Structure 1
């Protein structure tokens, strides 16, 4: 019953930890395969250029705030959209890279046509992706946009490292958690590892939510006047924060498992009965009689040659 109780004690936190691992796996898989609808729906940030690229030669493409438009940037974007075809209708950003594609004007159906190669510590640079790095626009890019992209670039590497570390600690928790089947010490070690996993997972989720929310704010402030819009990926954030919730719950149950169900088997007490006719030590003859039985000294003649005197042998005398 001890092992069975121990198994029941760690079953819940183990299942929760595996669930957190699956959520992290989904987060890492986003924007890796253009042919997978599941992976295409998982992104942190999305830039929508459909309204801009649908008619790049239209001088009235922007209906509002015409006095704030940077004509040089507008012309460069229009040139890229018309001649080089580098501008797609949308761009979706994941942990390892981005995917881009087109949107049907009538059905509004999105089709992913390209996914960038995998890259650790990836960050989305619209200047490079949109082919503006070899133009004067790179220097004349709005300051708000430049500052926002620089901040995003610095945080992106830490964010990726936090997700990778959380993934490693999650796998480690599952492996170390096997030792929790045998003792509470195993639960203690597992809880320590899982606590680190929980901290890194929470930090990664918080950082990615904050940094991409800031990036959306920058895009909406600077690029909205060019009919370029942006938004957060709700599906990705749901997956990530659901994984954090599973991780927090797992941490609670791993902690509880330290105090419950030791895993030791119940031992039966063994009663040892004395066998009959065994030797029992008698009391010293010099202490006198006690109770109904008394021990006395009786002389025994010494036999044999070369002996003298007498000896005394104690024995138990029963009174009839």
Structure 2
């Protein structure tokens, strides 16, 4: 097959690796200003506050709010705290939470979620409602229920691991593409690429499983604990489709890289025994055949016996060497 056959052999895993990388890029662009309107609508989790009851939507500055030292609510009374926040700040209708940041916006009259702006991308990002909802600015941190606070603490810690897993998955997949070029020339290149592909798959699968499980727990806590206050939690769909497609592509790529390391060597058909091409004009000598060994008649007798009869040159028979091994 040669180099052309080797290229065909690694074409499939190479394309699968590129597809996995594209899916990871889509996940990373979700809910950031770096992407298009479509990627800004990608989110792991959405906090929907449009049903939040409020007495006024007037917006004040943080400094003027801090001058009011009489704001207080009971511990765990998130509803009253959000009413106070809504009185001083214009809280958006929803927050979309992504891997590196969040986007916020309002719901239109056509019931469409319109993103207005997004936060700057941040490594190891986690959505802190106490900070983002201005509860901390009003000194109302105590309004977060204990169950919700415990879930947020878990989310904060797990989100760091999730971010690291996605970073490693992205880096390993990119390295897999680079090393895949060496796989064109030898199966050793495929072996090394296979090891990197396995690592990329493991971290991609771990990141996908972590994000799915973590935000499923957060959505459950939101809907169980604070839905009565007019806040609902929803998990996204498209971003999970992208991350699990990346996992599937990464697994398939690793399997095909492993197959390419076992076959399609990339060498031309070659007779290693005689160092000649099989399609050449030189025929291979079969074993166990008689072949001429030259002129003369070799004597089978020991030196002490009489010499064999001599023949004229033109009458000398041609002898054959029995069972010549190649």
State the TM-score, normalizing by the size of structure 2: 0.79
CA distance in 2 between counterparts of 1:119 and 1:281 reads: 92
8 Å Cα contact 1:34-1:112 kept in structure 2? no
8 Å Cα contact 2:33-2:120 kept in structure 1? no
Structure 2 stretches of 5 or more lacking a match?
A: 57-73, 271-276, 285-293, 316-326
Q: Does 1:56 align with 2:28?
A: no
Secondary structure, aligned partner of 2:55? coil
Secondary structure, aligned partner of 1:51? coil
For residues 107-126 of structure 1, the aligned pairs below 5 Å read 107-126=110-129
Alignment deviations for residues 298-319 of structure 1 (CA, whole Å, 9 cap, x no partner): xxxxxxxxxxxxxxxxxxx426
Calculate the aligned-residue CA RMSD, in Å: 2.6
Secondary structure, aligned partner of 2:196? helix
8 Å Cα contact 1:34-1:114 kept in structure 2? no
Secondary structure, aligned partner of 2:261? helix
Q: Does 1:318 align with 2:316?
A: no
For residues 8-19 of structure 1, the aligned pairs below 5 Å read 8-19=8-19
8 Å Cα contact 1:293-1:319 kept in structure 2? no
In the alignment, what sits opposite 1:253? 256
CA distance in 2 between counterparts of 1:193 and 1:154 reads: 27
For residues 74-93 of structure 1, the aligned pairs below 5 Å read 74-85=79-90, 87-93=91-97
8 Å Cα contact 1:44-1:92 kept in structure 2? yes
Alignment deviations for residues 242-280 of structure 1 (CA, whole Å, 9 cap, x no partner): 11111111111111111111100123156399xxxxx97
State the TM-score, normalizing by the size of structure 1: 0.80
CA distance in 1 between counterparts of 2:10 and 2:265 reads: 11
8 Å Cα contact 1:34-1:99 kept in structure 2? no
Larger Rg: 1
CA distance in 2 between counterparts of 1:34 and 1:193 reads: 28
- Post-superposition shift, 1:109? 2.0
1:45/1:289 CA distance change after superposition, 3 Å: farther
Query: Which 10-residue stretch deviates more, 176-185 or 16-25?
Result: 176-185
Secondary structure, aligned partner of 2:181? helix
- How many aligned positions are there? 279
Detail structure 1 runs of 4+ shifted over 4 Å in the superposition: 69-72, 279-290
8 Å Cα contact 1:148-1:215 kept in structure 2? yes
Structure 1 stretches of 5 or more lacking a match?
A: 59-68, 274-278, 295-316
Q: Does 1:94 align with 2:101?
A: no
- Post-superposition shift, 1:136? 4.3
In the alignment, what sits opposite 2:78? 73
Alignment deviations for residues 183-230 of structure 1 (CA, whole Å, 9 cap, x no partner): 111111110010000000000000011111111111111110101001
CA distance in 2 between counterparts of 1:229 and 1:254 reads: 44
8 Å Cα contact 1:49-1:89 kept in structure 2? yes
1:244/1:35 CA distance change after superposition, 3 Å: closer
